[in-house]
A and B are shown apart, each in its own frame.
Chain A
């Protein structure tokens, strides 16, 4: 008997609709604590809809409907206060979304807005967060410079720092390297591998090789359904479902 890993997020029969289109069908899925769960699948497979459900960003869409349950730790996310949920479950977007303010203000933005006033504590958290995304040494002498001056890869790592500053438990990556060159991609992946020691990570990616490189387990979504989920090595060497194999081999998608 292998000990069961801690379950961080339990998803039960999740259905999501945008207007008449169903984006996700009867999804049941467990995410373990301190793992990197890769989610792969072609466009419109529902992977981003799932990710955006975990911190309820889907609710920004006017015609969005949902059924089913997502349990974070022991709490139903629908019952959590949005502020708490989104602090606990951070999000990194596909393109680096830095705000047009300084590097320092970007990282400290969430903290300040959540009422932190003590400058020493903020300074400490800024350094800590920038170090955790391997950016500190590159920017420590120019924290007051506009963040938009950083390169694309640096900007994405700045976004990771900004999320880390709120001390989340789960970090969602929504195709975080789709606009980055290979060197920057490698750095972002390196920080993800480091971060999973303390955080639970879900990585949605269009790049199957990226899922193979960094994720512990990989889930394959197709047309809003979970086709299969297993250890990454198994998914990429001996998947159960023919469609998974075809997608990984590049036969469609």
Chain B
């Protein structure tokens, strides 16, 4: 066979694989948008559900999800970044740090329902936060930690070693060096990781199942010690537990859920490219 023919075949196969990767995404989005867009209205987004959730809006579920993801990021971003800085900049390469690294990698692979049970045991029962936004947010935060730590460590490691060397050679302390010559240049990567983990937290059902999510609440939560409704759980309920709900409402809810995650991903891309342009090396 001629080299050019071989090349053509190879490229065709590669192209086909790429298409196969994209197809499901397009298909899923297509189905959700086609079936759900009619349900979307200002009223749908901003009113309480009525008539046993068979009509009305999904406002409390949206609010609940926003509470949860905000709380989870407030908790996990500082801790995750601090741990990443320690592991990447300070920790010596010994058995302990290697074990910690291994643990973090493995945590990322733990299934989310296990996090849910863990949250139930630790936050709801042991720390007596009860079934509340606080418990759910912290559970989501812990689930996000490995993602944020890994992304932050990658971002820190991508800052050239020479920046540290220059800064130290000018007589600056290790901390000054990290604070002024390393962290600022790692921020785009850290933020991207944080937002992507947020987008994941938006969609997770299992961790909030036992820790916060309510089947139905007539009122919005008043504090972080209240239960709340959340989008993914709400979607699960209206899809399986309540007969006679129009598919429009179901797909509309899915549409909002996917839309939130999608918007966050877009934000991540924008923030990344903007900061990148400002801090180039």
> Which A residues are closer than 8 A to B by beta carbons?
55, 57, 60, 62, 82-87, 90-91, 93, 95, 97, 99-100, 109-110, 113-114, 146, 148, 159, 162-163, 166
Contacts and interface: CB of A to CB of B under 8 A. Distances in A.
Q: Sorted from nearest, which 10 A-B pairs have the closest CB atoms?
A: A86-B171, A100-B281, A110-B170, A87-B171, A91-B169, A97-B162, A83-B171, A97-B166, A113-B172, A113-B176
The residue in B163, B168, B170, B280 that gathers the most chain A C-beta atoms within 10 A of its C-beta is B170
A179 B216 CA distance: 68
B279 interface: yes
A31 to B, nearest CB: 18
Chain A contact residues, majority secondary structure: helix
Contact of B162 (A85, A93, A148): A93
A210 to B, nearest CB: 22
A163 to B, nearest CB: 7
B166 A93 contact: yes
Contacts of A86: 168-171
A60 B170 contact: no
Interface residues of B, number: 20
Contacts of A159: 166
A166 B280 contact: no
Interface in B166-188: 166-173, 176, 180-181, 185
Interface string B133-173: 00000000000000000000000000000110111111111
27 contacts: A57-B168, A57-B169, A60-B165, A83-B171, A83-B172, A83-B173, A86-B170, A86-B171, A87-B170, A93-B166, A93-B169, A97-B163, A97-B165, A99-B167, A100-B280, A110-B170, A110-B171, A113-B167, A113-B172, A113-B176, A114-B171, A114-B172, A146-B280, A159-B166, A162-B170, A163-B170, A166-B170
Contacts of B170: 86-87, 90, 109-110, 113, 162-163, 166
B171 A99 contact: no
Contacts of B163: 97, 99
Contacts, number: 62
A15 B185 CA distance: 37
Contacts of B166: 93, 97, 99, 159
A62 B92 contact: yes
A99 B181 contact: yes
Given A62-B92, A97-B165, A82 B171 contact: yes
A83 B176 CA distance: 11
Contacts of A100: 185, 279-281
B234 to A, nearest CB: 46
A95 B165 CA distance: 12
Contacts of A113: 167, 170, 172, 176, 180
A55 B167 CA distance: 13
Contacts of A97: 162-163, 165-166
A46 to B, nearest CB: 19
Contacts of A146: 280
The residue in B92, B173, B176, B281 that gathers the most chain A C-beta atoms within 10 A of its C-beta is B281
Contacts of B165: 57, 60, 93, 97
B3 to A, nearest CB: 38
Contacts of B162: 93, 95, 97
A148 B172 contact: no
B173 to A, nearest CB: 7
Contacts of A62: 92-93
